[in-house]
Amino acid sequence: MAPRSRPVFLPRNAPPVFPNPSGADSDGLVAIGGDLSTERLLAAYEQGIFPWYNEGLPPMWWSPDPRAVMDPERLRVSRSLARELRRERFRVTFDRAFRAVMIECGCEREEGTWITPDMLAAYVALHERGHAHSFEVWSGERLVGGLYGVRRGALFAAESMFHRETNASKVGLVVAVRSLFAAGIELFDVQFLTSHLESLGAYEVRRPDYLGCVVQAKRKIVSLTDLPLVSK
């Protein structure tokens, strides 16, 4: 059996450089420490790494194996969800309420939340610089669902989603996948395969394959300015 790799410790003032995630330990932990600066976050996503940790602990940087992804070809839209999309009971927007979506994603989770004040500030800064985006789902004027993530080239790394009404997050996710791929996104990362995501068509790929796709995706230029939303 190969020895378990140990995560690298990053001093807070270290350059925004990460070790090769192919050498991550069996849980996918690549490094511990550093900070949540825009430069470090972008460097992480460009290597297939993301931060995930609890408040009070130093940042922890992950690249799990396997990795969960989605695409329009494997997207599963049930008959009831297709009817929901046709009814247009919900209105979906793009980049209209990024901060509000993040706050909602961090509320009322039984397992707690990794969306600490520091994480919120860091990702809002990414959004303000055009690197992070949100899809919002509205019922009238009330925000009832949404998701957010980070884009690097043709990669969209979804971070979290929420719903306050039945099917709201599903509608947002379907619109996000279809709209982003129509705009040129080639890799839609959802990190871990949950039963909920699997029911919508998410599937797993091995880390080497995922990292190879990241290398290809980050080289491409994709504009999400005035993104047309595709629901069907």
Read off the pLDDT band of 40 (50, 70, 90).
very high
Question: Is 212 a residue whose pLDDT tops 90?
Answer: yes
In this prediction, residue 123 carries a pLDDT of 98
In this prediction, residue 77 carries a pLDDT of 96
In this prediction, residue 31 carries a pLDDT of 95
Mean pLDDT of the region 156-175: 96
In this prediction, residue 54 carries a pLDDT of 83
Question: Is 109 a residue whose pLDDT tops 80?
Answer: no
Mean pLDDT of the region 163-176: 96
Read off the pLDDT band of 3 (50, 70, 90).
very low
In this prediction, residue 118 carries a pLDDT of 93
Closest CA to 210 of 191, 185, 184: 191
In this prediction, residue 88 carries a pLDDT of 86
> What residue ranges define each of the domains in the chain, with the CATH number in brackets?
8-64 (3.30.70.3550), 68-218 (3.40.630.70)
Read off the pLDDT band of 2 (50, 70, 90).
very low
* Mean pLDDT of the residues in the chain: 93
Question: Is 150 a residue whose pLDDT tops 90?
Answer: yes
- In the chain, pLDDT over 70 holds for what percent of residues? 96
